Amino acid sequence: MSLNTEQFILNIGPSHPSTHGVFRMKATMDGEVIVELEPVFGYLHRGIEKLAEQRTYTGIIPLTDRLDYLSAMSNNLAHCIAVEKLAGIQVPERAEYLRVILAELQRIASHLIAAGALLNDCGAFMTPILYMLREREKILDLFEMVSGQRLTYSYIRPGGLAQDVPAEFLPALQKVVTDLPHFFDEYDQLLKENEILLARSKGVGILTREMAINTSASGPVLRASGIKWDIRKADPYSIYDRFQFEVPTGKAGDCYDRYWVRMLEMRQSLRIVEQAIQQMPAAGDIQTKVPALIRPPVGEIYSRTEVPKGELGFYIVSDNSIAPYRYHIRGPSLLNLTALRDMIVGWKIADAILIFGSIDICMGEVDR
């Protein structure tokens, strides 16, 4: 027997644990089924792009920390690479290796939060995310060792790094690298074939290959739909062309594939870190001498890197002054959200929470 029900509007957020930040979903419901969805942005708008146009190129770095504050080291690197391309600045060999090590550690730390939060949304209350936070803390210990900070670092600078790593960094790094595979195996044993995770995520929130391409999705969201696109391979930057690693992809483009691709990517990041440790010069400069006030020649640049959530791009226009004339950020969280409506409509409200969580966004990057 079917019941005739009247549709109603349900607001989820903007301040709600399941919205992963100040994001609002205005859902039109027919019973428990979502028949229409309107994503609402703008509750956290910071004006970072305009603020950047009033700052020096080095002074912008703390702003990039606060884009995706779970991937601050990767954001620092992306901005500095753009400035170095624009100004023609070379980076010393040792600094390049340290940058790659820190960026890949940041990718692992970010994916641990993404997977743990998704499983929390799935109903696995606290246990998986606490396991993953445990290993993330060890990575944050390394970041604190080199920069003095645990969340916003401002450590990577145009031309290299703010300072060399301390003597105790490499032994501590080696211990983390040695221990992580055991914990990755532990996660897989706990979760890979978990019947609740499979029931909640398999076949749910499918993002097709065509939709992923048409919405400019990137990162794990794109690769989970079966598209083997990673800027580190497709358009190598820094010294990524020196490392051997694979680009994991999914098949169905559902919530489970987005989770599983991140789990596989952490192993590949660890593989890169191990190679970088072996190849890195034991000594050498970590900073090219650059002026305190960088004045790139008149021109423009678009530079992109593969951060944990996808393609982070910076478009910078220089007028030969100490601050950018124009500064625009292509944030992967914003672009990955554009397919949210199509992924959610037709699913129930409980599924919508999981679908949204599987995208892995940071509102600081959306409302930049």
Does 124 have pLDDT greater than 90?
A: no
Contact status, residue 119 vs residue 353, Cβ threshold 8 Å: no
Work out the average pLDDT over 12-30: 87
Q: What is the total residue count of the chain?
A: 368
Residue of higher predicted confidence among 19 and 48:
48
Residue 1: band (very low, low, confident or very high) from pLDDT cuts 50, 70, 90: low
Mean pLDDT of the chain: 94
Q: Which pLDDT score, from 0 to 100, does residue 326 have?
A: 97
Instruction: Say how far apart CA 339 and CA 359 lie, in whole Å.
Output: 10
Output 239-245 pairs: Cβ under 8 A, ≥24 positions apart.
Answer: 239/96, 239/97, 239/100, 240/100, 240/272, 242/275, 242/279, 243/100, 243/271, 243/272, 243/275, 243/276, 244/271, 244/275, 245/269, 245/271, 245/272
Does 298 have pLDDT greater than 70?
A: yes
Work out the average pLDDT over 95-109: 98
Work out the average pLDDT over 70-97: 97
Residue 320: band (very low, low, confident or very high) from pLDDT cuts 50, 70, 90: very high
Residue 236, C-beta contacts closer than 8 angstroms, at least 6 positions apart: none
Work out the average pLDDT over 302-306: 97
Please state which CATH class domain 50-332 belongs to.
mainly alpha
What does pTM read for this prediction?
0.95
Q: What is the CA radius of gyration of the chain?
A: 21
- pLDDT tens sequence across 334-353: 999 999 999 999 999 999 99
- pLDDT tens sequence across 245-254: 999 999 999 9
- In single-letter form, the type of residue at position 79 comes to H
Work out the average pLDDT over 81-86: 98
Least confident range of 187-196, 265-274, 315-324: 187-196
Count of CB atoms within 10 A of residue 2's CB?
A: 4
Work out the average pLDDT over 90-105: 97
- pLDDT tens sequence across 179-230: 999 999 999 999 988 898 999 999 999 999 999 999 999 999 999 999 999 9
Listed in sequence order, the DSSP H helices in 231-348 are 231-234, 255-279, 332-336, 340-344
Residue 323: band (very low, low, confident or very high) from pLDDT cuts 50, 70, 90: very high
